[in-house]
Structure 1
Amino acid sequence: MKHVILTLSLLALVSCKDSKNQDTKTETVEHATDSHSNQHDNEASNVYANAWINEIQKNNGEKWQADATTNEGVQKLQNTINTQSASTLEDYHQLAKQLNDEKNFVVKNCTMKGPSHDNLHVWLHPLIEKIDALLKVETVEDASKITASIEENINAYSEYFK
């Protein structure tokens, strides 16, 4: 299941620039399964974790050069996640909508190519999954956990990109 979602997401995001003229929205592909609760548990653990850190690489020990619009979009994400406070489920859903709009700005306006672009997607893909999960979350407790994971993900950007 993880591989299907990863493959579909990567195919949808292969070229940020090519998607500029399209309305980019995150879609979740679901397959019927006998163990729905196990699937839910696996998806939940994915959005709480930051395993992407094990996959991302640096540029010979240095940060990757990102384009100005990507940095601008990530700065908006950082400002939102670091300044917004949520206490109700409605607050968390509103936060998710704002983060989703800002994430879409990054995807639509990215002009990066090559290894820096590939590593951006290693960072971006889990963020997309987390924001999607926050849009659909059903409890404040889960929303709080996902938001903390989103915050870690967004704030780690500056460790890998300049």
Structure 2
Amino acid sequence: MKKAIAIVVISLSTTIFSYGYAADNPSNGHSDYGVEAPVDGLRLNNGEQWNMDDHTRTISKKMKKTFLDADHSTQENLNALGVKLRKQVNELIVGCTMSGKSHDQLHIFLNSQIPTINALALADNYNSARALEIQLKDQFEAYQKYFK
């Protein structure tokens, strides 16, 4: 029960943190090279990817593998995928040891990905689930572009 409460608190604080970060760092939706950023406020580290801690890197790879290995042929399968990814992102959050600007950028990224994962778990028809699946695919590609 304590772990569940901690996850909820972390998720809420992540959302609150990102609003504060966005207010302090106005974004025009562009990366360091003037290319449209997939997530408002997401930036490269002086043109380089942000370094992640081992835990974050491991769980992120696990999430991408879960996504790629899943059966995407039905709404039920996509809902189940959302549930699996939600558990994995919670695992990522609970074990995170990062700090500093790379951590801040990770929060910005997760604040776009978590709602997509939650919506996929709850999608009530295949077309909605499929649209969310495409968003997640794009988000996993963005992760690879911005984080190492």
1:145 lines up with 2:119 in the alignment: no
Q: What does residue range 9-158 of structure 1 map to in structure 2 within 5 Å?
A: 22-23=3-4, 24-25=7-8, 52-158=38-144
- Give the structure 2 partner of residue 30 of structure 1: none
Q: 2-side partners of 1:161 and 1:151: how far apart?
A: 15
Runs of at least 5 residues in structure 1 that lack an aligned partner in the other structure? 1-20, 28-49
Q: 2-side partners of 1:106 and 1:76: how far apart?
A: 10
Q: Match of 1:22, SS?
A: helix
Work out whether residues 52 and 122 of structure 1, in 8 Å CA contact, stay in contact via their aligned partners in 2. no
Work out whether residues 52 and 126 of structure 1, in 8 Å CA contact, stay in contact via their aligned partners in 2. no
TM-score (normalizing by structure 1):
0.68
> What per-residue deviation string (whole Å, max 9, x for no partner) do you get for residues 13-70 of structure 1?
xxxxxxxx6322568xxxxxxxxxxxxxxxxxxxxxx975341011111111110000
Runs of at least 5 residues in structure 2 that lack an aligned partner in the other structure? 13-35
> What per-residue deviation string (whole Å, max 9, x for no partner) do you get for residues 77-99 of structure 1?
11011121222221111111111
> What per-residue deviation string (whole Å, max 9, x for no partner) do you get for residues 115-143 of structure 1?
10000011111110001111211110110
Give the aligned residue type for 1:66: M
Q: 2-side partners of 1:133 and 1:69: how far apart?
A: 25
TM-score (normalizing by structure 2):
0.74
Q: How much identity, in percent, do the aligned residues show?
A: 30
Q: Match of 1:53, SS?
A: coil
Q: After TM superposition, which residue ranges in structure 1, 4 or more long, deviate above 4 angstroms?
A: none
Give the aligned residue type for 1:119: Q
Give the aligned residue type for 1:55: G
